[in-house]
Chains A and B, each alone.
Chain A
Amino acid sequence: MARLGQGVSAINANMTPMIDVTFLLIVFFVVVSQIVDRDVVPMDLPAPEQAVSGISEEADRIVVNLVPTAGGEIASIVVAGHAIGWDEMDSLTAIVKSRIQSGASEVHLRADKATTYNHIHGAIEAIRAVGTTPRLQLVVNGDQP
């Protein structure tokens, strides 16, 4: 039965709490998200037990990524946005040298835990060939197993 004298009212949901929560979620993801980190190639880093490694500085660094393949080989080397062949150690030396001359102060070596030492050693020797290289940082997974 329709009542006289009452207008038709719209039923509105109260959106305020939902918008609050949504904005909080957005702020959270904006803060924690890492959209682009071109320096870092995903790989399974070594994670020594009870490691006494330290948190490394991210400023003015050169990251040398030895991109792994199955079987402990390396497919390529990614350094400062350049992808070079695994056997192009002269190119690695040249890139690291130019970055050091432009102000970088640390070289971070990232390699998969299964990579064999002969490949690692080749990269270390290429970095050493720069001559004026400061300390090398051997990167490990900081999450303790």
Chain B
Amino acid sequence: MILRKRKAGSIGLNLTSMIDVVFLLLIYFMVATEFRTAEESFPMDLPIRNHGQSLMLDREPLVILVESTGQGQHDVRLRLEGPWDPLPSVDALFAFLRSNLAEGIGSSGLFTQAHPILIRPTPQTRWDHTLTIYNTAAKAKYTNITLDEPS
């Protein structure tokens, strides 16, 4: 029997179709990918309304009245309900809250960390201004912050 000698050839894998699919997948994911911005949040206990009920004097909340005056981060008018000096800015509010926070024995602060802070925006106050004030109170280490009905 005569065996015909075969010519030695290289065994190659046809990669064309795989590359086609891989590129399709790549293009799909590049188009469909959406880099979501990181979201954070402020936890807030839902407000308890005290219509017609008296409050304990030492738990009377500190009410911060908020009104937007523009679209900028600091375009906001602030006022504290009660016998307090006017607050010209958000920074002044932070300074007020920090200076009146009672931290430890011997502190001259008027409010404890758990003292209720009530933020009362006007109906037309922008949400970012409301949260700026919320953040200011939280940054001053107060823990009992609530949003009130619009004034």
Question: Is there contact, CB below 8 Å, between A54 and B43?
Answer: yes
- By a CB distance below 8 angstroms, the chain A residues around B32 are 33, 35
Task: Write out the residue numbers on chain B whose beta carbons fall within 8 Å of the beta carbon of A108.
Answer: 41
| A49-B73 in contact (CB<8A) | yes
* Residues 109 to 145 of chain A near chain B (Cβ within 8 Å): 110-118, 120-121, 124, 127-128, 133, 135-143
Residues from chain A with Cβ under 8 Å of B128 in the complex: 46-48, 113-114
Q: Contact at B35–A32, with CB atoms within 8 Å?
A: yes
Contacts of B30 in A (CB 8 A): 29
Q: Are B29 and A26 in contact, with the CB atoms below 8 A?
A: yes
A75 within 8 A of B: no
In the docked arrangement, what's the CA distance between A72 and B127, Å? 9
- Could you say which interface size class chain A belongs to? 35 or more
Q: Beyond the given A53-B40, A128-B47, please list 15 additional residue pairs across the A-B interface where CB-CB is below 8 A.
A: A12-B12, A19-B15, A26-B22, A26-B25, A35-B32, A46-B128, A48-B132, A55-B38, A72-B124, A108-B41, A118-B150, A136-B46, A137-B43, A137-B44, A142-B40
Chain A interfacial positions (CB closer than 8 Å to B): 12, 15, 19, 22-23, 25-26, 29-30, 32-35, 37, 40, 45-56, 72, 108, 110-118, 120-121, 124, 127-128, 133, 135-143
